[in-house]
A and B are shown apart, each in its own frame.
Chain A
């Protein structure tokens, strides 16, 4: 090995590609192993979900995709479907995104463009701290503080805009505010730090040349942001939002604590109750004794797994499109 290295440096003209340096080899093996570990872990998780879910799916007496039931008490008579789980999961996440996206954008712009440097640092730190709050605390806050506070607003929305399906009366009473709407607001608070911190870093990297180019044309502060910062950071901002969406889709404890359950199927209303994929699985975790009923929950987990994967893939392709430019 050492002989090969000296002969290589002695004759720069005949450089062979086969030179191997032990340090490179070891390090490449280590990093390749680390990379592979991730791929293998994801593949194994997917495989586990699939193997456990398939027998239960085969035994399902209802249509898995459109049934609102989730009856798994009798292993010989499984009736379950993901209709309501999907509706509730998607609606809570969308409410969260609709609230968190503009607020995060505002915070990121404030931190990078408007805040004086002395204020920007501690403020950014505080936003990051939001991400460190455990989700059980968000759940408690949602059910004890935010829910009751939002209740009058939700009642007003329902009575004023009830003709619009999203604001129609749901399958649970609004009183107590254990609704999709409340969950969405809590999830929004949880997404803020995720979306903000990524967006902030992207905005901060807007090339100074671009900013000066706009300023030299006589652009005002807002016009500089509109012509340089926003176009530059747009794809990063969208990717950050998708990342947040992935987080919202999988959030468990806070949702389980806040959302009221309902015997009736979901109405596509923000004032519905019910379960998300994650909260449904968590709620039944203590009863996972028999393989077939457990498999029903695992099949719900499989759908969530795929859903999160799709969202992340979309985020990746948007972020990747920017890198290619």
Chain B
């Protein structure tokens, strides 16, 4: 299922504002790629452009290409709804549907896809919850609302919801920034398991986290306020954190930024 992503000369604009300048990078299948960099450098924008979620903002547009196993997701015949069904996303704050039960939350994406078979839905709900390391904690209360779980459980519920539709790629936008250290550890362990089946791209402000979970790391930066963000470099995580190719990267990861 896992597919590779190639981003080629990607420029992103919000109206007249040039948000991201000429990003080119490649994400191999079954790997974890971390995006790091200061706030406002465009890393979340790039992440959201990978499943066309940035289009939710009025006036957003891109130039350049995002290829999913060689197919351009911005080609004119491609429906953004279809793109988002194959490229799942987990957000900064857990956002289960508050009125739906835990089970309904997990299978919400499948229901949207038209699946009605209850037995099949139940099987997938269990499989996804197991995949998100949440099954043991919620198996006895699947009919309770999703909002009744703790923050860390809610985030794993959202991951279960995202993997229930068996996406090709999983995007994570600072998935642990609203969680305590123990829940963070649970999510990081989960990321390590998920990469056996999925291509994962994660945005994080926590550099230890990037070092712990990712195979390669991309460092984004911007030259000044109002300037577009750009990709400084992308390389194996080990290399970025021990011997980065750019001075700016070294300054940032060693805390000498700005």
Give chain A's interface residues, CB within 8 Å of chain B: 117, 207, 209-220, 223, 227-228, 231-232, 325
Contacts and interface: CB of A to CB of B under 8 A. Distances in A.
A217 B158 CA distance: 10
A25 B93 CA distance: 41
A63 B89 CA distance: 67
A218 B97 contact: no
Interface stretch (B27-35, B108-116, B189-197): B108-116
B95 interface: yes
B80 to A, nearest CB: 9
Contacts of A217: 84-85, 88, 108-109, 112, 161-162, 165
Given A209-B95, A213-B158, A231-B98, 20 more contacts: A211-B56, A212-B56, A212-B91, A212-B95, A213-B95, A215-B53, A215-B56, A216-B84, A216-B89, A216-B91, A217-B85, A217-B161, A218-B113, A218-B165, A219-B81, A220-B112, A227-B108, A227-B112, A228-B97, A232-B98
Interface in B79-134: 81-82, 84-85, 88-89, 91, 93, 95-100, 108-109, 112-113
B136 to A, nearest CB: 24
A72 to B, nearest CB: 52
A218 B112 contact: yes
Given A212-B53, A215-B56, A227-B108, A220 B81 contact: yes
B240 to A, nearest CB: 28
A218 B85 contact: yes
B58 interface: yes
Contacts of B81: 218-220
Contacts of A214: 97, 108
Nearest to B147: A325
5 contacts: A213-B158, A214-B108, A216-B53, A218-B113, A232-B99
B97 A223 contact: no
Interface string B40-62: 00000000000101001010000
Contact of B95 (A210, A218, A223): A210
B120 to A, nearest CB: 17
A319 to B, nearest CB: 16
Nearest to A234: B99
A217 B163 CA distance: 10
Contacts of A117: 58
Interface in B124-168: 158, 161-162, 165
B112 A210 contact: no
Most buried by B among A213, A217, A219, A228: A217
A223 B85 CA distance: 13
Contacts of B84: 215-218
A207 B88 CA distance: 20
A211 B100 CA distance: 14
Interface of B: 51, 53, 56, 58, 81-82, 84-85, 88-89, 91, 93, 95-100, 108-109, 112-113, 158, 161-162, 165
Complex A-B, nearest 3 residue pairs according to Cβ-Cβ distance, in ascending order? A218-B85, A216-B89, A217-B109
A227 B165 contact: no
Contacts of A228: 97
A231 B88 contact: no
Contacts of B85: 217-218
Given A212-B53, A212-B56, A219 B112 contact: yes
Nearest to B83: A218
Contact of B88 (A209, A212, A216, A325): A216
B106 to A, nearest CB: 11
Contacts of B82: 218
Nearest to B105: A213
A223 B56 contact: no
A283 B96 CA distance: 56
Nearest to A209: B95
Nearest to A231: B99
Nearest to B145: A325
A213 B97 contact: yes
A213 B91 contact: yes
Contacts of A232: 98-99
Contacts of B108: 214, 217, 227
Nearest to B99: A231
Nearest to B113: A218
A303 to B, nearest CB: 37
A210 B165 contact: no
A220 B112 CA distance: 9
B108 to A, nearest CB: 6
A227 B161 CA distance: 14
A216 B112 contact: no
B112 A209 contact: no
Q: Which of B85, B91, B109, B112 has the most CB of A within 10 A?
A: B112
B173 to A, nearest CB: 10
A271 B97 CA distance: 45
A51 B98 CA distance: 49
Contacts of B58: 117
A67 B58 CA distance: 62
Nearest to A230: B99
A273 B89 CA distance: 60
A209 B112 CA distance: 18
